[in-house]
Structure 1
């Protein structure tokens, strides 16, 4: 290792240690203290039982917590359409909130589905709702275990070793993503030119045309329970983005359709 890289490594180690100690003072309640370990019941009689080590909650350290905060801070600075942090405290707060939401969601899912399946579903939920934040160590372990079993053809489908059930064909909504994109088309066109594109049948018809949807289908999706609240949240985010990046956030909502599902 050359002298320059060694100096960078020393600086990085120093930053991780200092930030870790700062976080470990306990003023950020959702950042896990260190060490942290949870042990879940192992069920050797289950039809598809995960390995025992999977059911042990991981240790987290101040260094790992610090690395998560740095990742959050760095990624926001490199993504043009993400909120640009003005100080490290904002990144710490976001990490704290995300981990708190994950913890609450894990609790809900394990209470409903049991330890094994509940934790796998929590890992999948974290991937779906917090795409830009690293998964927890236990999430990576669980998803990796499920993937390995599938690739080795030990199970028929992903998650079977955790007793994950296939979605019924009658319940599968294959056009959900297209309806969401149509709703975003309505949202974007009205937002950027409300005079030309007022909310109404003509706009619903225009938005649905590329997807072969009628105006009534798009209208129902636009006014579906919870959608208006999600669009308000999206509008607030876009206001923030356009303030920070006035030339680059024009089509943020349409390009980032996942925002409608919220976190």
Structure 2
């Protein structure tokens, strides 16, 4: 390794150490997310999220780190979902479900998965690739639920409800919570205002609003791009 690369490495390690010290301090502290002792790896994940989300501020990524490490509210995994209700009969399956919950949570806070989550998911995929099971996760004890009642429009309803909330949050005066707002939010999904309204006041949507309500740091705080965050979070042609 030449001298220039050594200097770059030293600078990088110094920056990560400084960021870790900042994350461990009581700066940016609120009732919503307390600081936790952080090391260079924690700082690297904050930096990765900062770059991946194209955020102009590190603050929102630090809040995301604190939020994830304190534990996402259980209500975000609504009653009746596979992640909430699937029985975990073994330590191996518990680890897989934790990794799947972390992956699902990425859609909310875009926090890079921890090493143990990535390893668990990689092992599940590798086992399936090597024909050790018919589906990903079978080797860990995950079971199929052929009689599970499906709701193929659930994501679209949640997307419309979230779009309605984000429009209102961005400009409450221009976008009051009324039939016009619900109609506007539902149009891209081919949904009526009444369908969006029911989704907006559902328990799932209410839990999400409470988790990221007024006065609480949100993934898009100080990023200056609420609409871009919503588009990336919910677009059916992007991650979803």
Q: TM-score, normalised by structure 1?
A: 0.61
> Closer, same or farther in 2 for the Cα pair 1:7/1:183, shift >3 Å?
same
Q: Deviations over 1:234-259 (max 9, x none)?
A: 454899788745xx42524532435x
Report the alpha carbon displacement of residue 183 of structure 1 after superposing the two structures with TM. Answer: 0.9
1:116 and 2:92 correspond:
yes
Cα RMSD for the two superposed structures: 4.3
1:68 and 2:38 correspond:
no
**Equivalent residue number for residue 3 of structure 1:** 3
**5+ unaligned residues in a row in structure 1: which ranges?**
33-64, 259-263
> Closer, same or farther in 2 for the Cα pair 1:145/1:21, shift >3 Å?
same
**Equivalent residue number for residue 98 of structure 1:** 68
**Equivalent residue number for residue 254 of structure 1:** 230
Q: TM-score, normalised by structure 2?
A: 0.66
In 2, are the aligned partners of 1:117 and 1:162 still within 8 Å (CA)? yes
Structure-1 separation of matches of 2:7 and 2:20 = 20
Largest Rg, 1 or 2? 1
> Closer, same or farther in 2 for the Cα pair 1:156/1:195, shift >3 Å?
same
**5+ unaligned residues in a row in structure 2: which ranges?**
25-33, 78-83, 235-240
Number of aligned residue pairs: give it: 214
- Is the deviation greater in 199-208 or in 71-80? 71-80
1:22-61 paired onto structure 2 within 5 Å? none
* Structure 2 counterpart SS, 1:171: coil
- The match for 2:156 among 166, 170, 178 is 178
**Equivalent residue number for residue 187 of structure 2:** 209
* Structure 2 counterpart SS, 1:251: helix
Structure-2 separation of matches of 1:193 and 1:16 = 37
* Structure 1 counterpart SS, 2:71: helix
In 2, are the aligned partners of 1:77 and 1:84 still within 8 Å (CA)? no
Structure-1 separation of matches of 2:189 and 2:173 = 24
In 1, are the aligned partners of 2:20 and 2:42 still within 8 Å (CA)? no
Higher relative contact order (CA 8 A, sep 6+): 2
